[in-house]
Amino acid sequence: MKPRLDNSCALVIVDVQNDFCPGGALAVRDGDAVVEPLNRCAALFARAGALVVATCDWHPPDHCSFRAQGGPWPVHCVRGTPGAAFHPALRLPADAVVISKAEGPKVESYSFFGEPGLEQPLVERGIRRLFIGGLATDYCVKWTALDAARRGFETFVLADAIRGVDAQPGDSARAVEQMKSAGVKLVTVEEVAEGVAR
């Protein structure tokens, strides 16, 4: 499976933020291992004239997903804090589009498409194929990929550029199976690179 990279493609880098990396408030094991393959991928997309989007979890201090508010998570990715910043080694192209999500205190949104009005600009730019990588496999990556596939985008997940929370053992593996069942294709960054070379 070597998809050809052109401007009908967009790369969606999901939540590569300090709080989801080792040492962060909601650390994903080896979360920082996604940075290098995503940097490589972002450079390939930029060279192909394809859009790069980076999402960030961007919560108010009293967000409904935090335990003090009855949610499942420790306080994480509070807007404007160091934990909410992108991993310092992440290299985004100058014209990358940054999208904040789950900004309202009462709104949880694991999916990029949970924020209204994001699909139309992609469609208007002729984007039909989305390549998704980042954190976390079993939450924001999964829901973004499932939503993308449901909306009719040809949807690829970058198998070597995702890591999961695995609150229950096997959650990430199950997430991958669920994505595949929904028609999402798994590709490696190397396969994407080969698609550019042709």
Taking the chain, what is the end-to-end CA distance rounded to the nearest angstrom? 13
Chosen from Zn ion, ligand VGL, none, partner binding at 136 (C-beta under 5 to 8 Å by type): ligand VGL
56 is known as an active-site residue: no
90 within 8 A of 96, measured Cβ to Cβ: no
CB of 169 to ligand VGL, least distance (A): 17
The token pair at 195 is 């698609």
Chosen from ligand VGL, Zn ion, none, partner binding at 45 (C-beta under 5 to 8 Å by type): none
Per CB under 5 A, contacts with Zn ion among 133-172 are none
CB of 118 to ligand VGL, least distance (A): 16
15, 19, 32, 57: the catalytic one is 15
Residues that bind ligand VGL (CB under 6 A): 15, 57, 65, 73, 110, 135-136, 139-140
C-beta closer to ligand VGL: residue 18 or 65: 65
Three-class SS of 139-153: HHHHHHHHHHHHCCC
41 is known as an active-site residue: no
C-beta closer to ligand VGL: residue 80 or 124: 80
C-alpha span between 161 and 155 (Å, rounded): 15
21, 57, 77, 101: the catalytic one is 101
Chosen from ligand VGL, Zn ion, none, partner binding at 139 (C-beta under 5 to 8 Å by type): ligand VGL
6 within 8 A of 49, measured Cβ to Cβ: yes
E strand residue ranges, the chain: 9-14, 51-57, 97-101, 129-135, 154-163, 185-187
95 is known as an active-site residue: no
Contacts of 59 (CB under 8 A, 6+ apart): 65, 66, 76, 77, 78, 79, 84, 102, 103
- 57 counts as binding Zn ion under rule CB under 5 A: yes
Catalytic residue numbers?
15, 101, 140
